[in-house]
């Protein structure tokens, strides 16, 4: 059975069958998933796909791994090797002085690294005291960090990707408050 509907001068034909409806829904869902991916900055995906997949699967990341990905996503002129990237952020004091490259990354210091690497502006407390504590609070306030999170919790690959995606959304002017 066919149903025709006129919209101005154009004719839209919709088939009333299960197969065509499934194709239509599949096409819409594919488009909905691809459009945001096409709008994402190219540099956020400049690491090899297999390496990104390995990072996503890791339950905890080290500070060296986090530094490498954050610097790459922030488009800084930093080295792409993990240890060199860690030294790069340590020289700029974007991580607290007590952390080591192979230590499990915690959310508070990673918040500071993200705020510094992406040059995010913070509130009054972060402006006067740019440390891990106020960076975490500022990212929570901006809804980059959501739900129940603790600055001492370990950062997993998917958690890092989520935060970076939210930072890129904020920088592009999108609202993340209602999500």
* Greater pLDDT, 81 or 1: 81
pLDDT digits (tens, 9 = 90+) for 109-126: 999 999 999 999 988 998
Average pLDDT, the chain: 79
pLDDT digits (tens, 9 = 90+) for 75-99: 888 777 899 999 999 999 999 989 9
C-alpha–C-alpha distance, residues 89 and 68, integer Å: 9
Look up the pTM and report it.
0.71
Report the share of the chain in percent with pLDDT over 70: 72
pLDDT digits (tens, 9 = 90+) for 22-52: 565 555 555 555 545 445 444 444 667 777 7
């Amino acid at each position: 059975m066919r149903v025709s509907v006129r919209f101005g001068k154009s004719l839209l034909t919709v088939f009333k069958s299960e197969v065509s409806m499934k194709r239509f829904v599949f096409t819409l869902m594919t488009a909905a998933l691809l459009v945001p991916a096409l709008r994402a900055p190219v540099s956020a995906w400049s690491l090899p796909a297999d390496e990104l997949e390995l990072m996503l699967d890791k339950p905890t990341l080290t500070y060296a791994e986090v530094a490498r990905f954050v610097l790459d996503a922030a488009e800084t002129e930093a080295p792409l090797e993990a240890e060199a990237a860690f030294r790069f952020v340590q020289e700029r004091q974007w991580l607290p002085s007590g952390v080591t490259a192979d230590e499990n990354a915690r959310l508070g210091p990673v918040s500071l690294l993200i705020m510094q690497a992406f040059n995010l502006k913070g509130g009054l407390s972060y402006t006067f005291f740019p440390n891990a504590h106020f960076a975490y609070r500022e990212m929570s306030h901006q809804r980059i960090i959501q739900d129940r999170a603790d600055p001492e919790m370990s950062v997993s690959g998917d958690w890092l990707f989520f935060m970076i995606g939210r930072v890129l959304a904020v920088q592009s002017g999108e609202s993340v408050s209602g999500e």
